[in-house]
């Protein structure tokens, strides 16, 4: 089954409805979800009855209440993502990554791909929203999707199938990101674009990841993997990691970066009365 074969009822999109009192209210393909959001410190704008009517709710210490619909899926642009409630309150997509995917695709507009097409790598790639957006671009020769969680990679592949992109030139790897980068450097491989969304803390069979400790080395490796003129995007959801802090660290590791851009990761409600800040992303170009 490809994306065109999926029933229309699963092709609805995503809307951010409201936030407040430490929670967020979202519409995933017609299913309203209430779940925690530490940054939502204001009062909600919607009435309590709207919040109480949410058929799916997650609470720390209690887990999920309610059941999702069968074949719960969301369409974002050309991508379809299968959703399922997870133990940590996640549902299988990070809506704020949609702006990252759109900005990355926009950076390739008007560019002529090299012989053989562009080569891209997506690290800490989760369930594949950014990977699928890149895969839909004409001129992509190879995309490497890397995540240490086998369940995330399997779901990303399923999302590619649902989106009609299973035949796209994507390598799906269950691997520790830092270990993989070291191997690629030793192999002398280079990429035209690298995107990464590292967590604050992580664990794989090769060791642990700590953002505060490991990000400087990670950025140094990025500089060794990108071709001249290559693009990299780094996003971070950790409190205290402002766009300015991320960009300053990137410039410290790669002092000759060009075209640095900071993109706040925010969700805005339909009525325009609420905005939820969920981190920052930086985009930069390696000097030619």
Q: Of 240 and 120, which is predicted with more confidence?
A: 120
- Angstrom CA distances, 286 to 91, 127, 140, 230, 254, stand at 35, 27, 19, 5, 8
pLDDT band at 159; cut points 50, 70, 90: very high
Q: Which CATH architecture has domain 3-82?
A: Sandwich (2.60)
97-285: CATH, from 3.40.1010.20, 3.40.50.150, 3.30.70.600, 3.30.70.360: 3.40.50.150
9 contact partners, CB below 8 Å, separation of at least 6: none
Q: Indicate yes or no: pTM above 0.75.
A: yes
Residue 127: closest CA among 95, 169, 168: 95
For the residues 128-142, what does the mean pLDDT come to? 94
Per-domain boundaries in the chain: 3-82, 97-285
- Of 2-11, 132-141, 153-162, where does mean pLDDT reach its minimum? 2-11
pLDDT at 287 over 90: no
pLDDT digits (tens, 9 = 90+) for 30-46: 999 999 999 999 999 99
pLDDT at 8 over 60: no
For the residues 94-100, what does the mean pLDDT come to? 93
Residue entry with tokens 């690290």: 123
Q: Of 253 and 103, which is predicted with more confidence?
A: 103
- Angstrom CA distances, 244 to 1, 126, 134, 260, 267, stand at 44, 25, 26, 10, 20
Give the DSSP letter string of 199-224.
-SEEEETTEEEEHHHHHHHHHHHHHH
What percent of the chain has a predicted confidence (pLDDT) above 90? 70
pLDDT at 10 over 60: no
Per-residue pLDDT at 9? 44
Per-residue pLDDT at 212? 80
pLDDT at 204 over 60: no
Pairing of β 23-28 and β 14-20 = antiparallel
pLDDT band at 5; cut points 50, 70, 90: very low
pLDDT at 11 over 80: no
End-to-end distance of the chain based on CA atoms, in angstroms?
A: 43
């Amino acid at each position: 089954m490809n994306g065109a074969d999926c029933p229309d009822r699963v092709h609805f999109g995503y809307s951010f409805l409201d936030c407040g009192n430490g929670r967020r209210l979202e519409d995933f393909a017609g299913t309203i979800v209430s779940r925690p959001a530490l940054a939502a410190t204001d009062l909600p704008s919607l009435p309590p009855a709207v919040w109480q009517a949410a058929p799916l709710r997650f609470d720390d210490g209690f887990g999920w209440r309610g059941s999702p619909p069968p074949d719960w899926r969301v369409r974002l642009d050309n991508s379809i993502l299968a959703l399922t409630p997870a133990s940590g309150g996640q549902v299988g997509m990070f809506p704020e990554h949609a702006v990252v995917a759109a900005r990355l695709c926009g950076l390739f507009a008007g560019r002529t791909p090299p012989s053989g097409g562009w080569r891209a790598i997506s690290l800490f790639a989760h369930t594949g929203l950014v990977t699928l957006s890149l895969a839909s671009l004409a001129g992509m020769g190879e995309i490497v999707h890397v995540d240490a969680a086998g369940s995330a990679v399997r779901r990303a592949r399923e999302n590619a199938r649902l989106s009609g992109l299973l035949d796209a030139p994507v390598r799906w790897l269950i691997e520790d990101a830092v270990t993989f980068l070291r191997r690629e450097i030793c192999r002398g491989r280079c990429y035209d674009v690298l995107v990464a969304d590292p967590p604050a803390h992580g664990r794989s069979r090769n060791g642990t990841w700590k953002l505060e400790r490991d990000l400087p080395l990670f950025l140094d490796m990025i500089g060794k993997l990108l071709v001249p003129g290559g693009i990299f995007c780094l996003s971070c959801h950790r409190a205290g990691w402002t766009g300015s802090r991320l960009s300053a660290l990137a410039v410290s590791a790669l002092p000759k970066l060009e075209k640095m851009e900071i993109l706040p990761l925010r969700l805005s409600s339909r009525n325009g009365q609420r905005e939820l800040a969920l981190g920052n992303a930086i985009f930069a170009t390696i000097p030619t």
